[in-house]
Amino acid sequence: MIITLVHKASKTMEQGGFKKRFLLPTADDLKQLRIQKGFSQAQLASLAGPGFSQPLIARIEKGTINPPLSKVKRLLDVLHGEHLEGQVTAKDIAVRPVISVEKEMLVAKAIETMGTNGVSQVPVCDAFGKVIGSLTEKKMTEMIIEKGRDALKLPVSSIMEAKFPEIGIDSSIAEIQEKMMQSAAILVMDGGAIFGILTKTDLLRYFSALK
């Protein structure tokens, strides 16, 4: 059976004397579901198995081919799966290593450290490496505007904010998005240890890489 995904339409099947109506997904439906699940076209093709490839997924999403119903069903099985092997998780996109500053470090030094490493927010740790807060470029800018150069002589502990939210290494893209609504960054944890960090910029970079 060949179906067209360009236009969503109601199909009718005769089944035991009764008519059963259902809607087929459009090409855009499949594309949006793929993006929502956090898969690239290549990843979806790999998870779908034999008979699938990135160029095929691209053509299906553009509506330039009419895939067999069996292939559409396979794609939907993958896209609606909750715990698929190979699904993109926080571990896959976390940025490493994690740049941090100590609470006793002067703001001037923290600015230098963040500038050298090209980051705009960092976790703040105590002398034992335990995360106790966070420091953002936004907060430092506000303090410098308020106090002038005197702010550069303050310890980081005097202007640090609450700790970044934490998420496990196996967390899904959807869970990352939800956490990211609360903060400028998220710490990705492997048990009790910091594995990596994710910022809104990192999340945008991930989505922009999806084809």
Of the two residues 207 and 109, the one the predictor is more confident about is 109
Q: Contact, 152 vs 107, CB < 8 A?
A: yes
> Confidence band (pLDDT; 50, 70, 90) for 86?
low
pLDDT 10s digits, 128-146: 999 999 999 999 999 999 9
**Does 29 have pLDDT greater than 80?**
yes
What domains can you pick out in the chain, each with its CATH number? 10-79 (1.10.260.40), 90-209 (3.10.580.10)
Task: Kindly state the percentage of the chain with pLDDT values over 70.
Answer: 85
> What per-residue confidence (pLDDT) applies to 186?
96
Task: Pick the closest to residue 121 from 208, 191, 188, 200 (CA basis).
Answer: 200
- Measure the CA–CA gap between 132 and 119, rounded to whole angstroms: 19
Token pair belonging to 164 = 């970044």
pLDDT 10s digits, 143-159: 999 999 999 999 999 99
Please give the model's pTM, rounded to 2 decimal places: 0.63
> For residue 192, what is the DSSP state?
T
